[in-house]
Copies of this chain bind each other. A is one copy, B any other.
Amino acid sequence: MVIVMERGADAAQVRTVIEEIERAGFRAFVNPGVERKVIALLGAMDVQKAQLADHFAALPGVERVSRISEPYKLVARASQPEGTRIQIGRVCIGGPALTIIAGPCSAEDREQALEIAQIVKYAGANMLRGGAFKPRTSPYSFQGLGEKGLEILAQAKEETGLPLVTEVMEVDEVELVAKYADMLQIGARNMQNFRLLQRVGGIDMPVLLKRGPGCRVRDLLMAAEYIMVEGNHQIALCERGITTFEDSTRYTLDISAIPVIKRHSHLPVIIDPSHCAGEWRYVNPLAMAGVAAGADGLLVEVHPDPASALSDGPQALKPERFRALVADVARLANVLGRTLSSPKET
């Protein structure tokens, strides 16, 4: 931590900062600058003490505090340099094989869900997605089928053998959703619902944590830290687009987030090209870009009849387009030294 004093800071203010540094158990080193003093805080800093930054920043005469260490620990690459792998049945997220998670935006009825599940399985998906509890911007939109939807999805999972990832929106519903799911999704709007993070941190089931559209990569890592601190280390991060001024797509896919996360963390990264695109026609190029940039998998919405979908139809791929995408990704994976091990082959 480096503490930059204001230009006009006086000797007493500098002295106070030094005393506070020493009171916190560190040593202080004052940079002999002429225009303004810079005080380095020396000694090992753990994540608890990193929270002292605000304390120093609020001392009189301090202009700003510059942190050196990352504010997270468990999610940091250094804590597990070889990278996390999450095993879910025969699927392994984070290894050389890419994970293709596909399915409808929401489970609408039994027939639809079972049909799509078979479609994505035979197209090459290795996990099934689908929502039973849907967070929707409008209270007048379809909100999902609730537990009924979970039952349908569980049947689809049984019939196909594909592990299921589905969203949980509420602390109280974690137990219920976990009865049916193989992986719990925390939606983008709940990325900083800290109670929910803590709750899924306390159970033994993998978590797919989606990035909030207004949140920095750093905040996404801190949200994952909330889960890990509670004991659950099976987390995959999902980039699904951020809010920017560009309005030709619904969100702007932050493709750089993939190498940035890979550098700073050991957690696997999944790309959701459907939600950021908002239109099916951009899903293929964004999915390809994500894999080429190093993503460990894709989360894709598929629907046999997008116009009749009860949510997010315009971004859903028709079955034939999804099959083409899987074929494209398979060729790409090959070039990148990765594979696309579909369960039907095993």
Contact = CB atoms under 8 A, between A and B. Distances in A.
A214 B213 contact: yes
A42 B47 contact: no
Contact of A293 (B59, B259, B289): B289
B256 A256 contact: no
A195 interface: yes
A256 B247 contact: no
A248 B217 contact: yes
Contact of A285 (B44, B169, B258): B258
Interface of A: 2, 4, 7, 20, 29, 31-36, 38, 40, 42-45, 47-48, 50-51, 54-60, 66, 68-69, 71-72, 78, 135-142, 169-172, 189-190, 192-195, 198, 212-219, 222, 225-226, 229, 242-249, 252-260, 263, 276-277, 281-282, 285-286, 288-294, 306-309, 311-314, 316, 331-332, 334-335
21 contacts: A7-B78, A29-B29, A32-B42, A32-B43, A33-B42, A36-B68, A40-B40, A47-B140, A169-B195, A214-B215, A214-B243, A214-B245, A244-B244, A246-B256, A246-B257, A248-B256, A255-B289, A256-B285, A258-B289, A334-B335, A335-B335
Task: List 9 A-B pairs, minimum CB-CB distance, nearest first.
Answer: A214-B214, A58-B313, A292-B292, A189-B192, A243-B245, A289-B289, A289-B293, A288-B292, A58-B306
